[in-house]
Chain A
C-alpha cells in the first residue's frame, strides 16, 4: 500500500531535502514499520525522531490522520489505507 508521509521542514537537511514522501510498504503498515523504512534511507533522520531505544522523542509527534499516535497504540498503530501520516515537532524550546 502507498502511504503518504509529511516530514518536518526542520529536518529537511537529513531527509534528502524532502518534506513529503510516499512509501510503498506491505500491508498492514504500522507507524513503527513506516519509520523503519524511512530509517533505512535516512538514518540521521531516524535518530532525530527516535532515540536509541526506539522510542519517539518526547517533543516529536506522529499523527495518523488527525490522531497523535501516543493516544492510539504508539508505534504499533496501524495506518489505514489512504490515510496520511504526519511527523512534526511539538511545542518546545525557549
Chain B
C-alpha cells in the first residue's frame, strides 16, 4: 500500500494531508500557524522524504525550514538557508518556489525568490547559493513587479544544464550552462498591458511547465494567453483555442506522459473568478490542440481563484491532480482530473499545494 502526502501552504500556516487511496484524506493540525507558506517542495529522490517549506511572517520575515520526518520535527539552519550576499545590498522578501532537480542530480534543489532571484542548493535544500548569472543580468533593473511582488516564481530544470525560469514581470529566461548566462525567451508571448508590440522581455508569465516526453517542449500560462513552445522556449504559439478564457495562473504538465497538461481558467485580468462562477480544470492530451473541461466533484458555485502554485500533480499511476482555492478549499483527483474529492475546507487562502507518493 502506498501513502500519498499532500502539503497545503496557506496564508496562515501549513497543513499536511495523507491518504492511502487519494480519495479519503487525513488532515494534520496546522504547522507554522499564523505564518504565510508560499512555497513547499517535497523531495523523494533519494528514497527518503524531505519536506522543504518557505515560511514567511509578516513581522519576522522569510525563512526556509525542512523536515525528514513528515513534519514531526523541523530544522532551520541558524544562519538561514537563503540569504543574499552582503555585496548585493538585497534582502529576501519571500521564497516563492522550492523545486527539486531531476533524479540524476539528487542533492540539487532550486529556489525562486522575491526580489527576482534564483538560488541553487547542492545539499538537499539546507543551504542555497545565489545564481549570480541571473542576478547580475543587465535586464534586472528593468524587471517589474506583479501585484504579488517581483519574483522568480517558476524554476523548471531540464536536461543537461538547461533551466527555464519565469518571473513576474520579466517573462521567461533560459540558461543552457547551468545558470552562468541567461537569455529572455518570450518571442510570441503577449504583453497587452504594455503599449506597442510585445517586447523581448517584460511579459507577465504566470507559470511554465515542461513536457514529460519532449524536454524542448514547454507550456506557459500567461497574463492573458496560453502558449506552447516546441523549440526550448525560442518561440511560442497560442494554444488557447478551446478554452473558455486565456487568463489564469496554473500550468501543470503530466510527469511521465507527453502532451498532457492542465490549466484552471479565470475569466480575465479584470475578473479573476472562474468562468460562470464554476470552478473547472481543463485538460489537454494533445499538447494544447484540444481541451476538455473537467469538473466532476468540484463545487457548482465557486468564485475564488486558484493561484499559480495552488495546483500540482503527483507521480502516481494514474497521476493525481490537486488544487486549492483562495477560499481555503482543497480538492484531489486520483484519476488525472476526471473526478475530484474534497480534501479540506475553510482553511486560510491556499497559496501552494505539493503532493508526492511516499517512497
Contact = CB atoms under 8 A, between A and B. Distances in A.
A43 B79 contact: yes
Interface in A38-60: 43-44, 47-49, 51-53, 55, 57, 59-60
A52 B80 contact: yes
Interface stretch (A16-24, A62-70, A71-79, A86-94): A86-94
Given A59-B59, A89-B60, A52 B83 contact: yes
A25 interface: no
Interface stretch (B84-92, B235-243, B265-273, B314-322): B84-92
B78 A51 contact: no
Nearest to B79: A43
Contacts of A52: 80, 83-84, 86, 90-92
Interface in B58-111: 58-61, 63, 76, 78-80, 83-84, 86, 89-92
A1 interface: no
Nearest to B90: A53
Contacts of B84: 52-53
Given A43-B79, A52-B84, A92 B91 contact: no
B76 A92 contact: no
A51 B56 CA distance: 13
Which secondary structure characterizes the binding site on chain B? loop
B142 to A, nearest CB: 23
A11 interface: yes
Contact of B91 (A11, A44, A55, A60): A55
A55 B76 CA distance: 21
Given A52-B84, A53-B91, A55-B91, A47 B59 contact: no
Contacts of A60: 59-60
A43 B78 contact: yes
Nearest to A42: B78
B80 A92 contact: no
A44 B86 CA distance: 18
Contacts of B34: 93
Nearest to A48: B60
A10 interface: yes
Nearest to B349: A94
Contacts, number: 49
A48 B58 CA distance: 10
Contacts of B59: 10, 48, 57, 59-60, 89-90, 92-93
A94 B80 contact: no
A47 B63 contact: yes
B127 interface: no
A53 B61 CA distance: 13
A58 to B, nearest CB: 9
A55 B11 CA distance: 25
A57 B60 CA distance: 7
A51 B58 contact: no
A15 B57 CA distance: 17
B91 A49 contact: no
Nearest to A57: B61
B85 to A, nearest CB: 8
A93 B58 contact: yes
Which 9 residue pairs across A and B have the least CB separation, nearest first? A51-B91, A48-B60, A89-B59, A93-B58, A43-B78, A59-B59, A92-B58, A52-B83, A53-B91
Interface of A: 10-11, 43-44, 47-49, 51-53, 55, 57, 59-60, 89-90, 92-94
Given A52-B84, A53-B86, A93-B34, 13 more contacts: A10-B59, A10-B60, A43-B79, A48-B57, A49-B60, A51-B61, A51-B91, A52-B83, A52-B92, A53-B90, A53-B91, A55-B91, A93-B58
29 contacts: A10-B60, A11-B60, A43-B79, A44-B63, A44-B76, A44-B78, A47-B61, A47-B63, A47-B80, A48-B57, A48-B61, A49-B60, A51-B91, A51-B92, A52-B84, A52-B90, A53-B84, A53-B86, A53-B89, A53-B91, A55-B91, A57-B59, A57-B61, A59-B58, A60-B59, A89-B60, A92-B58, A92-B59, A93-B59
